Amino acid sequence: MPETIDWEDKKYQEAFDDETRLLTRRKASDASCTIDDIQGILDALYILDGNNAEGRSSVQQITLSATIAAYEAFIHQWKKEITEQK
C-alpha cells in the first residue's frame, strides 16, 4: 500500500475508534443521553462538513469524515439494539 494512503487509513481508523469509544462511554455513563442527542450532534457535524469555504487540511477532513461515520454507525447500532429488544 502506498505510504500516503497508509497514513490516511490509519488516521481515519484512529479517529473513528476514538469517537466510537467516546460515544459508548457517554451512552453507558449518562442515562439522560438519547439517540436524539447524538443525532443532534451528527446534524451539527454535517453542517460543519458543508461549511468548508476556507478549506481544511487533509488531516482535518479525514478526522471529520471518520467522526461523522462513527456517529452514523453508532446511531444505526443503537436503533438496531432497540429494535431487537422489542
Q: Residue 4's pLDDT band (boundaries 50, 70, 90)?
A: low
30-76: pLDDT as tens digits: 999 999 999 999 999 999 998 876 788 889 999 999 999 999 999 99
Statement: the pTM of the whole predicted model exceeds 0.75? yes
Q: Number of helices (H) and strands (E), helices first, in the chain?
A: 3, 0
Q: How confident is the model at residue 2 (pLDDT cuts 50, 70, 90)?
A: low
| Measured distance CA(52)–CA(75) in Å, rounded | 25
Are residues 75 and 35 in contact, defined by beta-carbon separation less than 8 angstroms? yes
